[in-house]
Amino acid sequence: MKDATLNAFRDCDIAILAAAVADFTPETTRERKMKHVVHHY
């Protein structure tokens, strides 16, 4: 699939792609939600 994608977009400067939620499986999971952290840069 990677080779087909690279071949299809060979002459493109940018590609915007999307995947269905079911296509993604995280490597690790948590039992509870993560707390939101605000970063002030």
Tell me: pLDDT of 33 over 70. Answer: yes
Q: Residue 28 is encoded by which pair of tokens?
A: 């690790």
Residue span of the structural domain in which 34 resides: 1-41
| pLDDT over 90, % of the chain | 2
pLDDT, tens digit, 9 for 90 and up, residues 4-19: 888 988 888 998 888 7
Residues with Cβ < 8 Å from 9, sequence gap 6 or more? 15
Q: Is the pTM of this model over 0.85?
A: no
Q: Specify the number of domains making up the chain.
A: 1
**Secondary structure letter of residue 33 according to DSSP:** P
At residue 11, what is the residue type? D
Place of tokens 């490597």: 27
- Distances in Å between the Cα of 13 and the Cα atoms of 17, 18, 24 are 13, 17, 25
